[in-house]
Amino acid sequence: MHDRITLLPRDASADSRAGSLASLPTDLQEQVRGRVRLLALFLTIGFAIDPVLYFANYGFAVLAGVRLPAEFYHRLPFQWGNLGGAAASGLLWIVTRRRSVTPAQLLRLGLLYEVGICFAIAFGTIWEYYVATGRVPFMTWVNAVVIMFPVLLPGPPRQILIAAAAAAAMPLLSLAVLARMGAIRVALNDYSNAFVQGAFCVALAYMGARVVYGLGRQLARARELGSYRLVDKLGEGGMGEVWRAEHRMLARPAAVKLIRGARGGAGGPDISDEARRRFEREAQAIASLRSPHTVELFDFGVAQDGTFYYAMELLEGLDADTLVRRFGPIEPERAIYLLRQVCRSLAEAESFGLVHRDIKPANIFLCRYGIEHDFVKVLDFGLVKSLGGRAPEPDPAPALTADTVIQGTPAFMAPEQALGGATLDIRADIYATGCVAYWLLTSQYVFTADTPMGILMQHANAPATSPSSRTERPIPDALDRLVLHCLAKDPGERPQTATELLRRLDSIPMPDPWSESRAHEWWRRQGLPEAS
């Protein structure tokens, strides 16, 4: 890992699948599914309306004993054609609901459907209009369908052009078939009119396809960061966005965290410079750590548009905040199992002279990791503070945090951090870990108030009540006391290091300790991703 940010130029050959649907971003590919489904549903209803009304009128006439005119029965063959179109559209709608059908397959089905449906529209419209008026219609709805499809279904222009040309030829084919059947009389002018209209619509469809496809390609290129291509946004917050990403050469998914260059308002601070320094510090901090319980960093760089990013391992599971909100407080032995892993990550960070400063349930991720379950990864070193030691060299730029700004999450903030003290060490993370333990055991915060400042004041001044008094689940006395020691106002009364906290957690006797087998069974019951 480089000590400095590396500018990674965009590789012109990144789009190895240009000219195919796969060259578009995955979310745009998935839009094909929704659009084909919507189109199929719309046309199912459109084709079904006339037959429903026709057969409803027929039924009412039979019940009322009313004799219908002969013209009514002449329209019966066209209703069977409409029902056929409705059935085909409904079948396509069902196919779109199958996740096993890929967006590329759906696109091909959609284009084939376009050709078929244009034949049905042209054949039925021309014949029915001729029966009613004795003339070939000047125009059919085929033209609208040909022009509309490239907008609804983004795809490679060449495929769209072929399908549009075939669809636009359906009025010509219908005229020829109907004339061959003797159903209508067709003049040369009718053929030429259909040809000119079709050619014009094909040209418009091709231009529309190039515009829509080109915009998708531009978006795909904009989402390429070094060797990674962004796929789906997983979340966003004050420090930036997190995306699911794919490596262009390796079969390795990743989570990419990025922050885009932005300036503050007129006269305001240069927010992007401060955010950039924090972002760089976070990447360097993670890169210096090797604990399996600290999220692993793959890459770090700057895109040509000024976007700072780093790629880290993509984890399967849920964070401790979601865990408790979904399933309630957890067993004491499981809490110990998770907290021991958090301590291992903090112990290594401490050895590098790093203080996390934002330990909270949302930054403690429980994942399926290889064959293990309940494997903890500590996330988000965006507020990391260096105390010297073997950590990366301090940033020579101005301090990352203004003296008047308190950094962290109020519900998990140590008193010295809440009061804005300049001297923070690992014991602030020990306090936050105690708050996390409190949350895991009780599903409640240590302190609550109407405002963040009220919470901070309680952390600074109010004594914490024992976890056992806030839950009906039995908590061992040794664990109850240890959590309160972590929550001591005086840093000197807390465990002094993450290693000491780990040792004290190990010394708590548990009749039935949490184990990998129990974790695996819990994940299986909850339907969460399991190890293969």
Q: Which residues carry out catalysis?
A: 358
Q: Is the dihedral of CA 175, 179, 184, 189 positive or negative?
A: positive
Burial class (CB in 10 A: 0-12, 13-18, 19+), 183: middle
Q: Is 134 left (phi over 0), alpha (psi -120 to 50) or beta?
A: left
Structure tokens at 159: 């495929």
Give CA separation, 495 vs 138, 277, 498, 501, in Å.
87, 31, 7, 6
Bridge partners (DSSP) of residue 375 are: 367
Tokens of 183: 């159903």
Q: What letters, b where the CB count within 10 A reaches 16 and e where it falls short, cover 36-67?
A: bbebbeebbeebbebbeebeeeeeeeeeeeee
- In the chain, the N- to C-terminal Cα span, in Å, equals 31
Residues in the chain: 532
- In which order are the strands placed within the sheet that holds 317-319? 317-319, 364-369, 372-378
Distance, CA of 123 to CA of 175 (rounded, Å): 8
| Of 219, 363, 380, 218, the residue nearest 310 (C-alpha) | 380
Cα 78 from Cα 75, distance rounded (Å)? 5
For residues 285 and 294, what is the distance between their CA atoms, to the nearest angstrom?
10
Contacts (Cβ under 8 Å, ≥6 apart) of 62: none
